[in-house]
Amino acid sequence: MRILVLGAGALGGYFGGRLQQAGAEVAYLVRPRRRAQLARDGLVLESPFGHARLPARTLLAEEAAPGWDLVLLTCKAYDLGDAIAAIRPAVDARTAILPVLNGLSHIDRLKTEFGAGAVLGGLAKIQATMAADGTVRQLNDWRWLTFGELDGSMSPRVAALAALGAKAEGMVATAVPDILQRMWEKLTHLGTSAIGTVLLRANTGEIARSPGGVAFMHRVLERNAAIAAAKGHPMPDSFMAEFRALFADPKGGYATSMLRDLEAGGRIEADHILGFLLQAAREAGVPEEIHEAAFLHAKAYEQRREAGRLPRG
């Protein structure tokens, strides 16, 4: 399978590297700074499933050309417009586009840009980060890449990707017939985690050990589940039980990529995740004041970051 990975950051580097190890022909569509890093050091993975240093073939946007079975889209939501422009010359009639971004609204945007038939649904349950030196670090044993056709069919192309993923160490690649439901479950999970960890600037264990912390996280979870249900995607009981337990665990050390980005003084996906959920809460008639506070907190952070007034680390 010929795979073009847009971005070689945390998720692009990790899953691209694992698929490359499994035998796929992989190239990374990157910007000049990352290209230089990859040319110098290779793609460096540090992972509980084995470290690796892989040769990485890179392309810049102006070098992109057709001939790919799959584009794995791994940018942050705030880079989606540039990423769409970068992959456009690489997409032809046979190319499937698999986005792993958190959130949901990118799916409609990609359908509008490339046609509904080109776009798969996808989500990643993983905790990974890319260090300043370009090392891609997997932070725990989460390693799930889940994807599917938006119409629910089990097509040859999703079966082929699942078969390739089955050969890869350090990842579990699963094709599912209900990817939109799974994406709503991921948004309910991530949205609750992001609202809690970003608003309170703490991981789930630190929150759970604070007075009222568990009740607060459970309230956010219930509200996000109510939003998803109003959009036609009720959360299964097993999902609610799993996440109630996770948010109640005082020993948990669970944080989000949004908190990591914010603490590093980086850009965050405030509009795409928190703004989307706030709007959805309003549409669903779900009490919105916690969503409003989380979104406002993130937007005020963006103001302060843009003004160069973040504390020096």
Ligand X SMILES: CC(C)(CO)C(=O)C(=O)O
Q: Given the rule CB under 6 A, which residues bind ligand NDP?
A: 6-12, 29-31, 33-34, 74-77, 79, 82-83, 86, 100-102, 124, 126-130, 257, 269
Q: Which of the residues 69 through 108 are near ligand X (CB under 6 A)?
A: 102
The listed partner (ligand X, ligand NDP, none) that binds 197, CB under 5 to 8 Å by sort, is none
The listed partner (ligand X, ligand NDP, none) that binds 193, CB under 5 to 8 Å by sort, is ligand X
Asked if 190 touches ligand X (CB under 6 A), the answer is yes
Contact 140, 159 (CB under 8 A): no
Residue 96 or 124 having the CB closest to ligand NDP: 124
Q: Which of the residues 240 through 279 are near ligand X (CB under 6 A)?
A: 256-257
Residue 311 has a CB neighbour count (10 Å cut-off) of: 6
Asked if 138 touches ligand X (CB under 6 A), the answer is no
Q: How far apart are CA 160 and CA 158, in angstroms?
A: 5
Asked if 181 touches ligand X (CB under 6 A), the answer is no
Q: How far apart are CA 146 and CA 172, in angstroms?
A: 8
Residue 129 or 155 having the CB closest to ligand X: 129
Contact 68, 60 (CB under 8 A): no
In DSSP terms, 149 is beta-bridged to 120
- Shortest distance, CB of residue 142 to ligand X, whole angstroms? 6
Residue 11 or 227 having the CB closest to ligand NDP: 11
Buried b (16+ CB within 10 A) or exposed e, 92-102: eeebbbbbbbb
Q: Is 114 helix (H, G, I), strand (E, B) or coil?
A: helix
Q: Helix H segments across 201-231? A: 204-208, 213-230
How far apart, in Å, are the Cα atoms of 300 and each of 240, 270, 296? 31, 10, 6
- Shortest distance, CB of residue 117 to ligand X, whole angstroms? 27
Asked if 188 touches ligand X (CB under 6 A), the answer is no
Asked if 220 touches ligand X (CB under 6 A), the answer is no
Polymer length in residues for the chain: 313
Among 26, 29, 126, 226, binds ligand X (CB under 6 A): 126
Look at residues 120, 127, 278 and name the one whose alpha carbon lies nearest to residue 191: 278
The listed partner (ligand NDP, ligand X, none) that binds 189, CB under 5 to 8 Å by sort, is ligand X
Q: Write the binding mask 106 to 125 for ligand X: x where contact by CB under 6 A, - elsewhere.
A: -------------------x
Residue 32 or 211 having the CB closest to ligand NDP: 32
How far from the centroid of its chain's Cα atoms is residue 198's Cα?
16
**Where is 9: in which H helix or E strand?**
none
- Shortest distance, CB of residue 91 to ligand NDP, whole angstroms? 14
Checking DSSP bridges between strand 172-175 and strand 136-149, what pairing results, if any?
Answer: parallel
Residue ranges binding ligand X (CB under 6 A):
102, 125-127, 189-190, 193, 256-257
